[in-house]
Amino acid sequence: MQASKAYEANFDGLVGPTHNYAGLSFGNVASRSNEKSVANPKAAAKQGLRKMKRLADLGFQQGVLPPLERPSIRLLRDVGFSGDDASVIARAAREAPELLAAASSASAMWTANAATVSPSADTEDGRVHFTPANLAAKLHRAIEHGETRRSLGAIFADEARFRIHHALPGTPALGDEGAANHTRFAREYGDKGVEFFVYGKSEYGQGPQPQRYPARQTLEASRAVARLHGLSSDATVFAQQSPDVIDAGVFHNDVIAVGNRTTLFCHERAFVDQHKVYDELRTKLDALGTPFTALEVPESEVSVEDAVSSYLFNSQLLSSADGRQLLVVPQECRENARVAAYLDSLASRKTPIDEVLVFDLRESMKNGGGPACLRLRVVLDDAERAAVNARVWMNDALFTQLDAWIDRHYRDRLAPADLADPKLLAESRAALDELTTILGLGAVYDFQR
Q: Tell me which residue of 333, 247, 259, 338 sits closest to 299, measured CA to CA.
A: 338
CA 215 to CA 245: how far, in whole Å? 11
Query: Residue 380: which H helix or E strand, with range?
Result: strand 375-381
Q: How many CB atoms are located within 10 Å of the residue 139 CB? A: 17
CA 10 to CA 385: how far, in whole Å? 12
How much is the pTM?
Answer: 0.95
296 catalytic? Reply is: no
Per the residue annotation, which of 8, 69, 144, 177 is the catalytic one? 177
Per the residue annotation, which of 19, 129, 252, 409 is the catalytic one? 252
DSSP sequence for 198-224: EESB-SSS-----SSS----BHHHHHH
Q: Are 184 and 196 in contact (CB under 8 A)?
A: yes
Per the residue annotation, which of 19, 140, 373, 409 is the catalytic one? 373
φ, ψ (nearest 5 deg) of residue 430:
-65, -40
CA 237 to CA 195: how far, in whole Å? 6
Name the maximum alpha-carbon separation found in the chain.
65
- With vertex at residue 164, the alpha carbon angle to CA 162 and CA 167, rounded to the nearest 5 degrees, is 160
CA 255 to CA 214: how far, in whole Å? 15
Query: Residue 432: which H helix or E strand, with range?
Result: helix 423-439
373 catalytic? Reply is: yes
Please name the residues in contact with 282: beta carbons below 8 A apart, sequence gap of 6 or more: 292
CA 113 to CA 93: how far, in whole Å? 28
Please name the residues in contact with 206: beta carbons below 8 A apart, sequence gap of 6 or more: none
Q: Tell me which residue of 170, 165, 176 sits closest to 221, measured CA to CA.
A: 176
275 catalytic? Reply is: no
Question: What does the domain layout of the chain look like in residue ranges?
Answer: 1-110+374-449
Strand partners, 118: 129
Helix, strand, or coil (residue 89):
helix
Strand partners, 431: none
Q: Are 294 and 259 in contact (CB under 8 A)?
A: no
Sequential pLDDT tens for the chain (449 residues): 444 689 999 999 999 999 999 767 545 554 556 567 799 999 999 999 999 999 999 999 999 999 999 999 999 999 999 999 999 999 999 999 999 999 999 999 999 999 999 999 999 999 999 999 999 999 999 999 999 999 999 999 999 999 999 999 999 999 999 999 999 999 999 999 999 999 999 999 888 899 999 999 999 999 999 999 999 999 999 999 999 999 999 989 999 999 999 999 999 999 999 999 999 999 999 999 999 999 999 999 999 999 999 999 999 999 999 999 999 999 999 999 999 999 999 989 889 999 999 999 999 998 888 999 999 999 999 999 999 999 999 999 999 999 999 999 999 999 999 999 999 999 999 999 999 999 999 989 987 54
CA 241 to CA 272: how far, in whole Å? 6
Q: Tell me which residue of 240, 237, 297, 222 sits closest to 265, measured CA to CA.
A: 297
Helix, strand, or coil (residue 167):
coil
Please name the residues in contact with 113: beta carbons below 8 A apart, sequence gap of 6 or more: 107, 133, 135, 141, 177, 178, 179, 180, 252, 373
Q: Are 116 and 131 in contact (CB under 8 A)?
A: yes
CATH class of 1-110+374-449: alpha beta
